[in-house]
Structure 1
Amino acid sequence: MNHSLSRRSFLGVTAGVGAGATGLLTAGCSGGGGGGDTVKIANTAATASLTINHLMDELGYFATFGVNAKITNVSSGTQVVAALASGSADITVLSGFIGMFPAIEKGLPLKALGGTQVVATEAFFTGNPQVRSFQDLAGKTLGVGAVGAQLYDGFIAVLNKYKISPKDVTFRNVGSSADSFKSVLAKQIDVGYGQVGDQALAKPKGVRMLNTVAGELPLYINQGSVASAKAIAGKRKALVKVLAAYAKLFQYLTTDESKSKYVAAYVAAGGGKDEAEIEWAFINKYTAYSPTLDLPEAKFDYVQQLNVEAGSQKKVLDYKKYTDFSLRSEALALLK
């Protein structure tokens, strides 16, 4: 197993990597025990995801369930979808759902297996004193990603909630949530995204958190596990063990004893101690990572509706057609 790449060094290495599967680079954690198929996992490269890598490494849960796993972290959900489509990855466990639905709608044979980060750890930040609440967004510049991406859809949902027309704001494509937060700190945008833990970095710069994404949009679901139909058919037992390993880790994060290890892993992933402590407190209090891999239909329908409103998806898909919870059930049985 390998702790060698932090989030900062990894993102530097992956700058310019294309969406094609050949551009994927391994970072964070790989390992397991016993023989059998190797499960190739593609996740995004956020500090939170790399923190989970470090925890999986230290706690050895892949070995506990006797599965070989190779984790690859990439800089965007688009690259995750490309990896699943090409076969360079069998499954994603920590990647946003929003980009998966348009791909499934267009015929990509993917199945959602369960929820992972079911309570978003992102938050909205502003450094503009004129923005006292979300009702003040009209006329302001918002830091988002591409149309239909997670950051864009989230702001569309907020604007809809407060009956503000998208035509009355300026969307600036700044990239990832990390880029959005940097733009807020630099006062290049009025409102942007960051992580809950970024409150520790925001205050000294005169930036404040307006609200968490979960607090403002309670039906919003962030991450989940999605696998290709090919992997489900050919590596079913191994995929079940991977899900069991993550569920065991998520159970651990609900305990008080997980704090010190989470903070250490977050720092190892390139974050700061103060941010890590705030992040852990939120994750622990709200059970942000689901120990049961729960995947509520209402939340999935809500995220899809955001896609429809943004124009990246034509209609809300039938819940039963894109889900397969049989692997989740088998994974949870392994924990008993």
Structure 2
Amino acid sequence: MKKFFATALITAVLGLLSLGQASAKDVPTVRYGVYDPGFDSGFLLMAREKGFWEAQGVKVEVITFKSASQAFPAFIAGEIDVVQANPSEALLASAKGADIKFIGSTMPGLNYTIYSKPKFQTLADLSGATIGVGGPAALPAVVAKAMLMAKGVDLASVTFANSGGSPDRYRAVVNGLVDAASSPSDYIGRAEADKVKVLAMAKDVVPDYPRYALITSSAFLHTENGEGVVGLIAGLIQGMRYAVDHPDEANALSAATVGGLAPDDPSILAAYREFKEGGYLALNGEIPVKQMKYLADLQAKLGISSAPVNVDPLVDDSYRQQAVARVGTVKSTYYGGVE
């Protein structure tokens, strides 16, 4: 695995040489929104850490939000140009007329888990339980409902409580405030010590449910800075590949982002191993079109939308293709596959 990306890196160097020496005023700027960076930061923020965006000829301003409920409205309001987010909000916004384009992905694999009190043995046992989620149409709630539906649980028998951000929802289980919670798999490494049960993982129950896509607008793509999305995507791809080949640096970045943990903390190591070996990453920036169509159908089934959103017109793969032409293609490891 150590030399896995050698050919791709050579291609990347050749691609960078072709970029030329642009003056500072010619460098496109992209305001890039991300939310809830945590144990995945070693992969998702490595482009900034190693200067890959600058090398690709783009200035990327990373703007961090606590949750999707903050990040996506900021995108709609024009406060950011590209957002790394779950496709759910974008699909719903598109149905209301918003200008949406899916241009790539970083981590389409869904690293979500249902954590519970120890007394629960299966998802089916959650009938009548209170489950900590976020907003009713946001990722934590919708994936929890999808997982429960897959196991035959009547959603009307469950109380869904808005319990804050990812760490807040997990702590709500630890503190006995809810029976279970939908939250990232970041906390699996500490669950046993916290006397919390890892009840089920999304990838095992709803493997077609996507996590992240890169979302922008056609309006931004046609601005003078729009060409910068190629460099944004190329840098993100380079960062993820670098993290795969340099676990120590990836773990150090994750630990620094999370705070309060050492790079060799069991939680950090377990999360890195799961992301790398579990097939969560889009190492070629692949757009999870099939998975977004599944999500659009699910939204309609849950009554979140009146009908499934037509995904195909919202996809523009041309910028990702240009990015991959710069950095080379490697074997896909995403567990879901893509169309």
1:98 corresponds in structure 2 to: 88
Q: Is the 8 A contact 2:234 2:323 kept in 1?
A: yes
The one-letter amino acid of 1:265's match is L
Partner of 2:297: 305
Match of 1:61 among 52, 61, 82: 52
1:33–1:67: 8 Å Cα contact kept in structure 2?
no
Determine the C-alpha separation between the residues in 1 that align with 2:81 and 2:40: 17
Mapped pair 1:316 → 2:308: yes
TM-score (normalised: structure 2): 0.83
Matched, 1:73 2:64: yes
1:301 Cα deviation from its structure 2 partner: 1.3
Letter in 2 for 1:64: A
Separation (CA, whole Å) in 1 of partners of 2:242 and 2:60: 20
8 Å Cα contact 1:114-1:225 kept in structure 2: yes
RCO comparison, higher one (Cα < 8 Å, 6+): 2
**Structure 2 counterpart SS, 1:143:** strand
- SS of aligned partner of 1:211: strand
Q: SS at the partner of 1:204?
A: coil
- Please say if residues 52 and 239 of structure 2, whose CA atoms lie closer than 8 Å, have aligned partners that are also in contact: yes
Q: TM-score, with normalisation over the residues of structure 1? A: 0.84
What is residue 210 of structure 2 aligned with on the other side? Answer: 221
**Shift of residue 54 of structure 1?**
4.8
Q: Once the two structures are superposed, what CA deviation does each residue of 1:47-76 show, in whole Å capped at 9, x if it has no partner?
A: 146545652233111122111110101122
Which amino acid in structure 2 is aligned with residue 65 of structure 1?
A: Q
Q: Which residue of 1 aligns with 2:250?
A: 262
Structure 2 CA distance for partners of 1:252 and 1:33, relative to 1, 3 Å: farther
Residue 212 of structure 1 and its aligned partner are, at CA, apart by 1.8
Structure 2: gaps spanning 5 or more residues: 1-21, 329-339
Displacement of 1:252 after TM fit?
2.3
Contact 1:51 1:268 in 2 (8 A): no
Shift in Å, 1:317? 1.9
The equivalent of 1:293 in structure 2 is 285
Q: 1:77 to 1:174 in 2, by over 3 A?
A: same
1:155 maps to a residue whose letter is: A
Instruction: Determine helix, strand or coil for the equivalent of 1:236.
Output: coil
The answer to whether the aligner puts 1:175 opposite 2:175 as a matched pair is no
- CA deviation string 1:15-60 (max 9, x = no partner): xxxxxxxxxxxxxxxxx99542211111113314654565223311
Q: Which residue of 2 aligns with 1:154?
A: 143
d(CA) in 1 for partners of 2:254 and 2:71?
22
- Pairwise CA RMSD: 2.0
In the TM superposition, structure 1's runs of 4+ consecutive aligned residues that sit over 3 Å from their partners are 32-35, 48-54
**Map 1:115-264 → 2, pairs under 5 A:** 115-129=105-119, 131-234=120-223, 235-255=225-245, 258-264=246-252
Letter in 1 for 2:35: T
In the other structure, the counterpart of 1:14 is none
How far apart, in 1, do the equivalents of 2:323 and 2:83 lie?
16
Distance verdict in 2 for CA 1:71–1:52, change over 3 Å:
farther
For 1:314 and 1:73, the matched residues in 2 are separated by: 32
Over residues 226-273 of structure 1, what are the superposed CA-to-partner deviations in whole Å (9 max), with x where a residue is unaligned? 012221111232111101100111222333xx2111110111012532
Is 1:43–1:72's contact at 8 Å kept on the other side of the alignment? yes
